[in-house]
Amino acid sequence: LGGRIKSTVEGLQKLNFAVRGRYGEHSKSQGNLFQISNQLTLGISEADLINDLQSMLQQLIEQERQARQELYRQQRPIIEDRVMRAYGILTAARLMSTQEAEQLLSDLRLGISLELICSVNHSDINRIEATIGPASIQKTKGRLMSPDERDQERAAVIRSLLDKKTKNKSDSQTAD
């Protein structure tokens, strides 16, 4: 996929869109997430900018969907193993860095898209991601924490949120 991502980024840049890492300028893509923004605004109406961005995003979403399906067809056992390992680590780990969590959640997101994981959805992953950054964890705990304390708390938060989703899913299935 690396070659595909590179060519997609180059194509977006030719269309005057900037592609950056998840956290903006000078950041790297973590968890396979990117930030896309327009570079040209002078002389272009807001409506035209929005239309161009929406059109480009729809094409990008379709390309990503096709790439996921192709990758899965070509490497099914590897993809399934990667997704299931991510789920296992996320539900059992006792320490987890932000970077590791973002990568594992990205793998879990892939599993959701490929319908390998049904107990959580993309909205659940978004909620988890919003709560596991260093500042979010410290704000929730109400104090400054060392990196090791944050890694421990991050793992606990992820386990708890995924455990709740799994229990809710199994509860609704047994009620049927």
Q: Mean pLDDT in the chain?
A: 86
- More confident call, 58 vs 40: 58
On whether the CB atoms of residues 67 and 1 are closer than 8 A, the answer is yes
Confidence of residue 170 (pLDDT cuts 50, 70, 90): very low
| Predicted TM-score (pTM) above 0.75 | yes
Contacts of 27 (CB under 8 A, 6+ apart): 20, 21, 35
- More confident call, 8 vs 160: 160
The residue among 108, 158, 122 whose CA lies nearest residue 137 is 158
C-alpha distances (whole Å) from 101 to each of 31, 104, 147, 162 are: 8, 5, 14, 13
Residue at 51: amino acid letter:
N
